[in-house]
Amino acid sequence: MEASHVSGLLFNQLSFRGERQKVISGNIANINTPDYKTKDLVFEDELQKAKSKDDLQLATTHQNHIPFDLTQPKKTGPQVVNVPNLIEKNDGNNVSLDKQMSEMSKNSVLFNALQASIKKDSGWMKTVIDSSSKSQ
């Protein structure tokens, strides 16, 4: 796997974690809002849906038809969804402060780990660049 591809994946995950933090913060901010439903940011479900469509094939009836490859999944992004099957309070709100604080904590740990990985990756690339410029 190329270094630039790994860096791209790290930055995408960092962005996802930042967006998820916003969604969790919104849940906490709405803990006393009647009929508010807990939301979450999901990416894995969308990725699995895209992967499951890989078996589709298009037939071409003429040699000059433009080939179309469905084996490459469409670009998918995270989606904000209501979390199902949660216990509602009398006012219809289903936000659990304990659960949201736990999710926020886990998300923060992952965010910080990604930041550290990106910093380490950047340091490694700087070392390589510095070494190559000195050898010239």
Instruction: Write the DSSP symbol of residue 69.
Output: -
Average pLDDT along the chain, 136 residues, taken 10 residues at a time: 67 92 98 98 67 56 62 66 96 98 97 91 71 70
What is the C-alpha separation between 59 and 70, in angstroms, rounded? 11
SS3 82: strand
103: closest CA among 8, 11, 21, 12? Answer: 21
What is the structure's pLDDT at 120?
A: 84
DSSP string covering 15-52: HHHHHHHHHHHHHHHTTTSTT---EEEESHHHHHHHHH
Give residue limits of the domains in the chain: 3-125
- Asked if residue 80 lies in contact with residue 23, where contact means CB atoms within 8 angstroms, the answer is yes
SS3 89: coil
